[in-house]
Amino acid sequence: MNVPPRARRELGQNFLVDRNSVERIVEALDPRAGEPLLEIGPGRGALTGVLVDRVHRLAAVERDGVLADALRREYSPDQLVVIENDVLKVDLASVAPSLGHPASTRLVVVGNLPYNISKPIAMKLIRERRTIDRAVLMFQKEVADRLTAVPETKAYGPLTVLTALTFCIERLFDLRPGAFRPRPKIDSTVTRWHTREMPAFEEEREAALLACLAASFTRRRQTLRNNLRHALGSPARAEEILHAAGLDPSLRAEAIPPHGFVRLAEVWPDVV
């Protein structure tokens, strides 16, 4: 891009400018020609140019109209399919067909995610996990801590449980603020995601899983017994459900491993 567009604070834009970090992200993704590749938030195109060289054609979703127009001027449609939209509103199942692949083809995803919507994007990937093969994604370090936390830690919560049940996520490396323009006030972490082939829970119990997670973590310092008593409206009902799930009512939610919440979702009432 001849004249780099200015970052828009309201869109959470912090453009990656460190060339070494770009190369490390692309190598971690290991994209191959012929794969349906989606870049989330290409910004000024630091990753985009390297990806075009590797796979020859990809899609990129960019909400900022100025940046989207600049990308269209920089790359032909045979190189880059620009989706000018909020990524949270994009049906990921539509991306592979836009690149000439069958709708059932799983995506390879990469992105320096806007800080202000990074958690909603993670939830979108969880919901639309069947459209994804693997991903390399950058989050603010605090969110990466939650994504990769283990039980009995402060960072462990509903987002941890949901991602652990649907993806294998590994932390790759951290980036200091100097790798971006403008410089953020926090560190960032690059993560790699692989979709779990065997679903950890039945899709028809997904709503129940979300409900029991919300109830269990409502008051982090309270026991499961107390939190579920408030959610279910009955101490006896809370004890009954926790016993059916094989969970100790005296424990806090942060002590329960992900599969413990799967068991709880299996016995969670359909109407609370």
Residues 188, 237, single domain; the answer is no
For the chain, the domain total comes to 2
135 and 165 housed in the same domain: yes
Residues 29 and 160 in one domain: yes
User: Residue 115 — very low, low, confident or very high, per pLDDT cuts 50/70/90?
Assistant: confident
SS (H, E, C) the chain: CCCCCCCCHHHCCCEECCHHHHHHHHHHHCCCCCCCEEEECCCCCHHHHHHHHHHCCEEEECCCHHHHHHHHHHCCCCCEEEECCCHHHCCHHHHHHHCCCCCCCCEEEEEECCHHHHHHHHHHHHHCHHHEEEEEEEEEHHHHHHHCCCCCCCCCCHHHHHHHHHEEEEEEEEECHHHEECCCCCCEEEEEEEECCCCCCCHHHHHHHHHHHHHHCCCCCCEHHHHHHHHHCCHHHHHHHHHHHCCCCCCEHHHCCHHHHHHHHHHCCCCC
Averaged pLDDT, 129-134: 96
More confident residue, 163 or 115: 163
What's the whole-number mean pLDDT along residues 1-12?
52
Last residue of a domain, which of 138, 164, 195? 195
pLDDT at position 6 is 57
Q: For the whole model, what pTM was predicted?
A: 0.92
Q: Please tell me whether residues 234 and 183 are part of one structural domain.
A: no
Q: Residue 165 is part of which domain span? A: 9-195
Q: What is the mean predicted confidence (pLDDT) over 112-120?
A: 91
| pLDDT tens readout for residues 64-114 | 999 999 999 999 999 999 999 999 999 999 999 999 999 999 999 999 998
CATH of residue 221's domain is 1.10.8.100
Residue 271: per-residue pLDDT: 63
Residue 120 lies in a domain: yes
pLDDT on residue 3: 45
- Residue 117 belongs to domain with CATH number: 3.40.50.150
Residues 182, 208, single domain; the answer is: no
Same structural domain, 235 and 147:
no
